[in-house]
Amino acid sequence: MWHFYCPNIIYGEGALNFLENLKEKRCFIVTDKVIDDLGYLKILTDKLAKYGKEYAVFNEVVPDPHEEDVIKGKDKCNKYSPDLIIALGGGSVIDTAKGIWVMYEYPEYTLDDINPFSAQLYDFANKAKLIAIPTTSGTGSEVTWAAIISRFENDVWRKMSLPHMSLVPTFAIVDPIFPKGMPPKLTVLTAF
């Protein structure tokens, strides 16, 4: 028997307006410096301000995110105590946000505890929901139940696959305004 897990997907021009409908008020935004430089973060924060939502930003995500990045983001997230985590970016940003989300919901967990058989993870999203807003077309992380995080171990960088059905974001907001504005080189790189 097969089960298919998918977040609620809000798609189309103006999809960001969906944020107005959410009762959550404290948003923790996970992104990277490129998204900030492109002005995408400002688009999001302007919407949040318009809808009366507070926010804190963690913009230190790097390509092929490291475990230390997730822990650093989790620490900042814990201090802010959001009821909504928003990932704005590509697969690396969304995967980092998924790791932060798990460690925020379950402070006693490490990334090693995320596997398909983690029964406790089924009772999820008690502190915060996760919204994934992709800015690229590539990994599909906004609708999948896995994350890829790198760890330095035995003098080698190793990519860890972290699969669990609870890692599917609560919502995926897919607004073409973001991928449409990608630099041509990034468009090509994420197409394959």
| Number of independent structural domains in the chain | 1
Name the pairing type of β-strands 54-58 and 129-134: unpaired
Instruction: Give domain status of residue 3, yes or no.
Output: no
Instruction: Give domain status of residue 1, yes or no.
Output: no
| In the predicted structure, residue 99 carries a pLDDT above the cut 60 | yes
Instruction: Give domain status of residue 114, yes or no.
Output: yes
**Residues 131-156: what's their mean pLDDT?**
86
Please state, in angstroms and rounded to a whole number, the distance separating the CA atoms of residues 113 and 99.
11
Instruction: Give domain status of residue 40, yes or no.
Output: yes
**Residues 157-177: what's their mean pLDDT?**
88
Instruction: Give domain status of residue 2, yes or no.
Output: no
Please state, in angstroms and rounded to a whole number, the distance separating the CA atoms of residues 83 and 98.
14
Instruction: Give domain status of residue 75, yes or no.
Output: yes
Instruction: Give domain status of residue 82, yes or no.
Output: yes
Please state, in angstroms and rounded to a whole number, the distance separating the CA atoms of residues 58 and 106.
19
Instruction: Give domain status of residue 106, yes or no.
Output: yes
Three-state SS annotation for 24-60: CCEEEEECCHHHHHCCHHHHHHHHHHHCCCEEEEECC
Name the pairing type of β-strands 54-58 and 26-30: parallel
Phi, psi at 142, each rounded to 5°: -65, -15
The mean pLDDT value of the chain amounts to: 88
**Residues 136-149: what's their mean pLDDT?**
83
* pLDDT at residue number 1: 59
| In the predicted structure, residue 192 carries a pLDDT above the cut 60 | no
| In the predicted structure, residue 62 carries a pLDDT above the cut 80 | yes
The residue behind tokens 């989300």 is 101
The residue behind tokens 């814990």 is 78
Please state, in angstroms and rounded to a whole number, the distance separating the CA atoms of residues 1 and 163.
19
Domain of residue 120: give its range: 8-16+23-191
Judge contact between 93 and 87, C-beta under 8 A: yes
* Cβ neighbours, 10 Å, residue 88: 29
User: Residue 108 corresponds to which amino acid?
Assistant: E
CATH number at residue 111: 3.40.50.1970
Please state, in angstroms and rounded to a whole number, the distance separating the CA atoms of residues 66 and 50.
34
Query: 94 is written with which tokens?
Result: 């969304």
